[in-house]
Structure 1
Amino acid sequence: MQTRNIGPFEVSVIGLGCMGLSSGYGPPAPRDRAERVLLGALDAGYTFFDTAAVYGVGHNETLIGEVLADRRNEFTLASKCGLTVGDERQLDGRPENLKDTCERSLKRLKAEVIDLYYLHRWDRRVPIEESVGALADLVGQGKIRTIGLSEVSAPTLRRAHATHPITALQTEYSPWTRNPEIAVLDACRELGVTFVAFSPVGRGFLAGGAREPAKFGVGDMRATMPRFLGEALEANLKLLDQFEALAREVSCTPAQLCLAWLMKKDPAIVSIPGTTRPKHMRENAGAAAVSLSEEIVRQVDELVNERTVTGSRYAPAMQASVDTERLAADAAA
């Protein structure tokens, strides 16, 4: 697989988002299948694995530690701290909490050090400088190697970067979620921060995996997301039909079209699609071999974008935990 750089690390251009193996889209994957996804990903050329303390309330980190500890030298490991279940009331960016979370994560991961450690969300009750300062202490102690941020605005990134160099910024980015194009991508380029795109296939929607919300399992977060509900879903499904037709024109799957689109957008972007199935993991890896023309990129941009997609990313409670350009401006005022 092609590689790109995240700070000092050379990683596969497509990494593995591990959340879905434990939570987010229904019950945890069966253990044997989860193992086949993780071990198969290494064999398929994935060298970047992304997890977090919150995923399955520690289940995901434990899974990775138990399955991949013997192959730890084969991949770059990213995890996250500062978020318990995902709404603002359960954010905790206090330095003591971030350090305690790291200790627990290291034990679950069976690791001596975490390569890239993100602040999962900015807790606006705590200055970003204090939270990043705590992570800088962990770098100094040799418990983490580099620092990342997740779901923050460009102004917040700049404040954090002035406290300690930020290696990566992670947020949702796909043809149907264009928020990073407002300012974050430019700030990352300016500061030399790698942008990591999560949910790069629209939480499965642009891969054709969410046509029937009634079949979502218990605990599937999409059941509360406006884009997957009612009239918004009906409108978005019309876009999906056209997107799938475009993928057929390119002779790839819709998921591969999303990932190839991201690779074409910026030579510094790394994406981390997730899956609970070995077949889809291998399909995603195959996107690295898909080359898109400028004309196909233009057609994707015109078809699926912030003006044509119906519904917001999150329900209000979850949206409140996301640092936007507007909230950053309000905080500075």
Structure 2
Amino acid sequence: MRRRPLGKGGPMVGAIGLGAMSFGGMFGPTRDDASMACLDAALAAGIDFWDTANIYGMGVSERVIGDYLAAHGPDVVLATKSGIVPGPPRSFNNAEDYIRAELDASLKRLRRDKVELYYVHRREAARPIEEVAETMARLIEEGLIDAYGLSEVAPATIRRAHAVHPVRAVQNEYSLWTRQPDLGVLRACTDLGIAFVAFSPLARGMLGDPPVDPAGMHDGDWRRTNPRFVAPNYAANLAAINGFRDWARGKGWTTAAAALAWVLDRGPNVIPIPGTRSAAHLADWLGADAIALTDADRAEIDALLPPGFAHGDRYSDEQMTAVERYC
């Protein structure tokens, strides 16, 4: 797999990373052996940048990755996160004592002395971001993390934090059906030498083969209440994406590979982290980093899935809590 730098001065990683949210059962029941097989497949494909969080299965995702690392010892770049306090009601905490306690717990589950990247999962609105950046700088000085990142934040927040201590990566949702980072976040990252890590680059399963179907979702799957997956929005989105699916098939690409190629094409600092717990699904991504889109390809994709094509917001009002809105 081709490689990209994880931000200015950061390590080189595979151009495509792995999101490990589903390892914690966030989209239905999961098994450790299936997750381990997925990690085997990721390494075999050159996917060595893995992304997890303390709340993915309330530590399950981190524990699975920690068990895998203890058994196999691969050299991978790990990112984890804290800042979301599970509810009900859900709240957000960026205080230093909370961040430190959560990092300590994450390191124990991961069986690591440090992680390469530690994110503020959601910003606590009442706390100055400069204070949070100072906390992260101290963790770096103490050798507990190599660098820090921010998630679902506005361009102004990125610039304020970076002025205190350089931000290594910013993680926001970004895909053919979610383009908000084009309205300032991508530019801020490019200007400052920050990696932009695109989560849900496959539209939460819609840009796969076959596309995800709400009727087959587990009862606890939060997508069942997501505006883009409920009627009549789901049918409209499926119809639009089926046109793209046919186009990708005509090019000899999987839908997932074509969608990831589009994300990778957005800039050399962009690293998508599609998520799966299935080695078979991961196989659909392979080769995306080798696809070189032409001007004609870009025009055809733009005609099939123009900015704003998606029916429904990317989150419900409840799900949008603590996502910074700036447009």
The worse-fitting range, judged by mean Cα deviation, of 290-299 and 137-146 is: 290-299
- For residues 165-208 of structure 1, the C-alpha deviation after alignment (integer angstroms, 9 at most, x for no partner) is 00000111110000100000000011110101010010001214
Aligned-partner residue type, residue 318 of structure 1? Q
Structure 1 distance, partners of 2:87, 2:279, is 28
Distance 1:73 1:248, change over 3 A: closer
Distance 2:84 2:189 in 1: 23
Q: 1:18: which partner in 2?
A: 20
- Point out the more displaced range, 203-212 or 177-186: 203-212
TM-score w.r.t. the length of structure 2 is 0.95
Contact in 2 for aligned 1:37/1:277 (Cα 8 Å):
yes
Q: Deviations over 1:251-282 (max 9, x none)?
A: 10111111011111211111101112111112
1:36 aligns with 2:40: no
Q: What residue in structure 2 maps to residue 331 of structure 1?
A: none
- Asked if 2 retains the 8 angstrom alpha-carbon contact of 1:128 and 1:160, the reply is yes
Instruction: For 1:87 and 1:273, locate their aligned partners in 2 and report how far apart those are by CA, in whole Å.
Output: 28
Greater mean deviation of Cα atoms: 192-201 or 80-89: 80-89
Query: What are the ranges of 5 or more consecutive residues in structure 1 without an aligned counterpart?
Result: 327-333
Give, as a single letter, the amino acid of the residue that structure 2 aligns with 1:267: P
Query: Going by fraction, where is helix more abundant, 1 or 2?
Result: 1
* Counterparts in 2 of 1:96 and 1:64: CA distance versus 1, 3 Å: same
Unpaired segments of 5 or more residues in structure 2? none
- Secondary structure at 1:148's aligned position in 2? strand
Shift of 1:23: 3.0
How far the C-alpha of 1:294 sits from its partner, in A, is: 1.7
Distance 1:85 1:242, change over 3 A: farther
Residue 322 of structure 1 corresponds to 323
Change (3 A) 1:112 1:72: farther
Task: Decide whether the 8 Å contact of 1:171 with 1:197 is kept in 2.
Answer: yes
Distance in 2, Cα, partners of 1:257 & 1:108:
35
Give me the whole-angstrom Cα distance separating, in 1, the residues matched to 2:247 and 2:186: 26
CA change 1:58–1:209 in 2 (3 A) is farther
Q: 1:152 to 1:210 in 2, by over 3 A?
A: same
Q: State the distance in 2 between where 1:291 and 1:230 align.
A: 36
Indicate the residue corresponding to 1:6 in structure 2: 6
1:228 correspondence with 2:236:
no
Contact 1:86 1:321 in 2 (8 A): no
1:169 aligns with 2:170: yes
1:330 maps to: none
- Structure 2 counterpart of 1:110, which letter? R
Quote the offset at 1:250 in angstroms: 1.5
| 1:285-324 matched pairs, under 5 angstroms | 285-324=286-325
Are the equivalent residues in 2 in contact too, given 1:88–1:318 (CA < 8 A)? no
Segment drifting more, 146-155 vs 37-46: 37-46
Say yes or no: does 1:270 pair with 2:286. Answer: no
| Alignment root-mean-square deviation, CA | 1.6
Alignment of 1:1-333 (within 5 A): 1-7=1-7, 8-27=10-29, 29-85=30-86, 89-326=90-327
TM-score by length of 1: 0.93
Is contact 2:209–2:254 with CA below 8 Å preserved after alignment? no
The answer to whether the 8 A contact 2:254-2:285 is kept is no
Which amino acid in the other structure matches residue 105 of structure 2? R
Note the C-alpha offset of 1:151: 0.5
Deviations 1:106-136 (A, max 9, x none): 0000001100111001010211112222111
Deviation at 1:87, TM superposition (A): 8.7
TM-superposed deviation, 1:317: 1.2
Contact 1:211/1:237, CA 8 A, preserved across alignment: no
The alignment-based identity, stated in percent, is 39
Rounded Cα–Cα distance in structure 1 between residues aligned with 2:120 and 2:269: 21
